Every structure is written in C-alpha cells, then in structure tokens.
Amino acid sequence: MKKKILLDSFLFLLVALISIGVTSCITGQEDTAKNCDERLITVLNPAISSRMVERVPLAPRIDTLEGKTVYLVDLQWGGPKAAYSVFEEMEVWFSRNMPSVKTEIRRSSGGSFGDDPALREEIISKKAGGVVIGIAG
C-alpha cells in the first residue's frame, strides 16, 4: 500500500513536471523555457515591407555660393520666434566668412506642414543659388 502511494505520488509529480514544461513552451515563460530550448519553431513575421517609390533626381548643384543669394527659410516650428535666430546666426556667419553671399531670411507661410507657393515662386524667379530650410521636430 505504502509502495503504491509512493508510486502514485511519483507519477503525479512526473505528470505535473511535464505539464509545467509543456505549458512553458506554449505560454513562453522565459525563465522555464529551457525545457523547449532545442525545439525549432516557426512563427509569422510581424514586420511590414516598405515599397520604393519613383525617384526624382536632386536639383543640380552650383559650383560656389560666392556672389549668389541664399534663402534661409524658417518653417516656424514652435512659432515665428522659436528658431528664427538660427537663421539670423547663419546670416551673421555668411556676412563674416563669405561676405559676397547675399542672404534672405523668410518665414514660410505654410508653417511646418504646408506649402508657401508665393515663396517658392520668389526663390525661382530670383534664381537663388541655394535654399536652407528648417527647422522642424
């Protein structure tokens, strides 16, 4: 009788241990996952592919900014004064280091998310040498 109880207890313990092992494989508790370490499993890939879009080449560069006009366009992220002095400091830098460069600071009326067609037209019509646009985020 005592032997049978011991055997039953052993079998119960064995079943319980196997159950814990199987459960850990299914539920994936990392601390007990050693039981299923060797088994290879296959799962679906959560990542989503991106698709390429048609490329448009970058506008040709000029050789030098010397004697050219550079537009400094503030997108007004954070408001009209939030980053304006970035462009004022750029202007100071050009006047000190490349005095032949003419700078025009503008605020984009479209802000950070919209367009400013009038400003684009002005930049094109004035044949600007370059445009620095910022600063967002």
Partner 1 sequence: MGASGVNIVRFKDYDLQYSNGMPIRYVAFPFPVAGQPRSVHKSYIEGKDLLSGKPMMQAIIDALTMPLTDEEKKEGMPAEAAPEPRLLEPDTEVNLRRLFKEREWTDFNPIILPAEERAAEMLKGTSHQPDEVVSKFGSREMTVEKAAIYAVMAGAKPEYFPTILATLTQAPSFGNSTSSMANIIVVNGPIRKQLGINSGTDVMGPFSEANSVIGRTFTLAGKIMGDLRLDEGAYSSLGSNLQYNNVCIAENEEALPEGWEPLHVQMGYKPTDSVVTIGVGWSYISSVGEAQINHPPHMMFRDYMRSLTGMGATIVMDPTVAGLLKETQGFNTKAELSEWLSKNVEVAAGTYWGNGVNTTAMTPMALQGMEPFATWLKVPPETLIKPFTDPKAIQVVVAGGGIQTTWFVTDFGLRRGVLIDKWK
Query: Contacts with partner 1 in 52-91 (CB under 8 A)?
Result: 52-65, 70-71, 76-80, 82-83, 85-86, 88-90
End-to-end CA, the chain:
78
Of 10 and 93, the one with the shorter C-beta distance to partner 1 is: 93
31 near partner 1 (CB under 8 A): no
Q: Is 103 in the site for partner 1 (CB under 8 A)?
A: no
Residues 3-22 that bind partner 1 (CB under 8 A): none
Pairwise CA distance, residues 134 & 73, whole Å: 6
Closer CB to partner 1, 1 or 41, in the complex? 41
CA proximity to 75, closest of 137, 122, 134: 134
Cα 51 to Cα 123: distance, rounded to the nearest angstrom: 33
List the one residue from 21, 102, 104, 110 that touches partner 1 (CB under 8 A).
110
> Shortest distance, CB of residue 116 to partner 1, whole angstroms?
9
Q: Which of 1, 4, 49, 99 contacts partner 1 by CB under 8 A?
A: 49
Residue 70's H or E segment, with its range, is strand 69-74
Which positions from 115 through 134 interact with partner 1, judged by CB under 8 A? 120, 123-124, 127-134
**Residue 88, Ramachandran bin (φ over 0: left; ψ between -120 and 50: alpha; else beta):** alpha
